[in-house]
Amino acid sequence: MYAQHSAPGVRAVLDELAVGRLSTSDVAKLQEELAQELESDPFANDPKRGNVEEKLLVHSYKPFNAEARAESLLLQQHDIDDDPASHRLAFVTPNDAVYVRHHLPVPVGGGPTSIAVGECRFDVADLMDESKFRRHRVKAVLQCSGNRRSEAQREARELELPDPQGLPWKQGAIANVEWEGVLLADVLRAAGVVPEKKMVTTNDGYERHVQFAGADVPRVGDWKDETGFYGASIPLRHALDVNREVLVAFRMSAFCRDSLLVDSCGSICDIVRHLCCLVVPSKQISNHQSVVVTGDRRTA
């Protein structure tokens, strides 16, 4: 499940934290149990991606992580005419050249197609109904925080410094994407969340947050890590501010997605895909597969 734990650098770190060694019999028993668990491959239901190597440089398959090849990021040739859509998409990275960053298996069926907000639930049909929610588009440059890490790893080796841990991303873990969806602020208001002071701050002055929970949860066989979902949180006042353009998106660069995500414009930290639940008002998220964003115009 946590394939990154098998990387040599991670094993070296874990070795430093070792408090003892298992007996030979215990190791054999654990290996037998692990073999039984692995018969149920948690990644077996991931999408069949076909021949992706033409445009993507694959770093791992379980979970799937890949970046755009340099030539795929060069300025795309578009027929720029009087069609507004042509102008709008002229500098947008093609979907098949957008980098892929996964931490966990893709939920079965591609993920949920509705989100729960307290007692309310909204599905894609609700969000796409323009009589209920106004449609918004936001262009945003996405970049994995590990982009160009391979250069840092190479320099560290040359200088005999500790090797930066993580996938050896080159320069392709970056993309310019146009998201389409509805404002999170509109969804929250439709669920009865109002921007009152007692709602956005606690009695002792701390900011309340909105937590975003993804449906991609660590699971092997019958075991499931209930707290290991990939999630994020942002201050509630940010979520309710229409000028920050935080979106619940259902399209990426004119193509429908198979599940919902939450995203915003500005300086991009991360996104929560396979969005299934909003917890509001809430405290700042603290689970280990999380992104906490408190700065100006950041994503969730």
| pLDDT greater than 80 at residue 271 | no
| Cβ-proximal residues to 21 (8 Å cutoff; 6+ apart), any chain | none
Predicted local confidence at residue 134, as pLDDT: 95
Of residues 16 and 189, more confidently modeled:
189
Q: Which amino acid is at 254?
A: A
Lowest mean pLDDT among 139-143, 185-189, 205-209, 231-235: 205-209
Predicted local confidence at residue 263, as pLDDT: 54
- Bridging pattern class, strands 114-117 and 64-68: unpaired
In whole angstroms, how far apart are CA 265 and each of 67, 115, 138, 191, 279? 21, 21, 6, 23, 22
Predicted local confidence at residue 297, as pLDDT: 31
Average of per-residue pLDDT across 130-138 = 93
Rounded to 5°, the CA angle 151-144-233 comes to: 145
Ranges assigned E (strand) in the chain = 56-61, 64-68, 114-117, 120-123, 136-143, 174-183, 209-214, 219-220, 223-224, 231-235, 247-252, 255-263, 275-282, 290-292
Q: Which amino acid is at 138?
A: V
Banded pLDDT at 132 (limits 50, 70, 90): very high
Which residue, among 144, 140, 174, 145, has the nearest Cα to 263 in the 3D structure? 140
Predicted TM-score (pTM) of the model is 0.76
Q: What is the pLDDT of residues 193-251, one digit of tens each?
A: 877 656 666 666 677 888 888 777 766 555 566 666 677 888 888 888 888 888 888 88
Rounded to 5°, the CA angle 221-227-231 comes to: 110
Q: How far apart are CA 295 and CA 298, in angstroms?
A: 6
User: How large a percentage of the chain has pLDDT more than 70?
Assistant: 67
| pLDDT greater than 90 at residue 155 | yes
Predicted local confidence at residue 229, as pLDDT: 67
Which residue, among 215, 224, 203, 207, has the nearest Cα to 292 in the 3D structure? 207
Unique residue bearing structure tokens 């160009």? 148
| Cβ-proximal residues to 104 (8 Å cutoff; 6+ apart), any chain | 1, 63, 216, 217, 218, 228, 230, 289
For residue 142, list its beta bridge partners.
175
Q: How far apart are CA 127 and CA 184, in angstroms?
A: 10
Q: How far apart are CA 226 and CA 229, in angstroms?
A: 7
Q: Are 244 and 264 in contact (CB under 8 A)?
A: yes
